[in-house]
A = this chain, B = another copy of it.
């Protein structure tokens, strides 16, 4: 049987036009490539090139072979990719979530339940894409703010997250027992980006000015260093170093509290069951 390498070389020669150029592209010597093509011709017991003394051109057979060779290489590459992807899917747990907070709770638990596995996570405000990502095996676990009704999907309440506003001591609103989003009109606030579905909450607050920070550490430093109010949740309060000199006031709007659901495919029941809700 011929070798895949020979087909790749044949294609390279067809693309480069000359043996020399193809050999250079393939990082082998011209004689090596010459012999390799001769071997291929021996295999087929027919010439693939018309040869003059210092020129080699694909003949009709060769052109036909190049066409098919491309197809073979494509198939072989697809094989390679598919197996690698299979391996990745068996050694990696991808988690999708529509908010960072619940994800902070979940990831350590997954890590504990699946030691040695590579973990990756994605935050997206698009819960429909997370749901379809779960179904098409892009994600093994998904956290979203509504349950999925589907016989192939396992789903349970995982945790709830409540928004607060963090004011510096002495801020006019710091003394309130609770406030509404509209009370923040006219203020300038610090906002961490990539907040998943929470994005929808502050998108409605068109009268408040937000300074967006994409870097988590920079955001944290800014909060401590400035007197600007920022958002906090019941989860982020516990997961980050506590902010001194700050008063936390709950947001009373209906959509300032969300329940997140953990979802997995039915065939992943073992992993799903091992992960305890954090209510």
Given known pairs A72-B76, A90-B60, the reply for A83 and B1 (CB within 8 Å) is no
Question: What is the interface size of chain A, counting residues whose CB is below 8 A from a CB of the partner?
Answer: 30
A26 CB–B CB distance under 8 Å: no
The quantity of this chain's copies bound in the complex is: 2
Residue of B with least CB distance to A74: B75
User: Judging by beta carbons under 8 Å apart, are B91 and A68 in contact?
Assistant: no
Residues of B with C-beta under 8 A to A78: 68
Measured in the bound complex, the distance between the Cα atoms of B78 and A90 in whole Å is: 32
Partner of A61, one of B44, B76, B90: B90
User: Judging by beta carbons under 8 Å apart, are A83 and B71 in contact?
Assistant: no
Residues of B with C-beta under 8 A to A86: 60-61, 64-65
User: Judging by beta carbons under 8 Å apart, are A80 and B46 in contact?
Assistant: no
Chain A positions within 8 Å of B, measured between CB atoms, are 1-5, 7-8, 44-46, 60-61, 64-65, 68-69, 71-72, 75-76, 78-80, 82-84, 86-87, 90-91
Please name 6 further chain A to chain B contacts, defined as beta carbons within 8 Å, in addition to the given A2-B4, A68-B79, A71-B75, sorted by A numbering: A46-B87, A60-B90, A61-B83, A65-B79, A71-B79, A75-B76
Closest 10 CB pairs of A and B: A75-B75, A46-B87, A68-B79, A64-B86, A72-B79, A65-B83, A68-B82, A72-B75, A72-B76, A61-B86
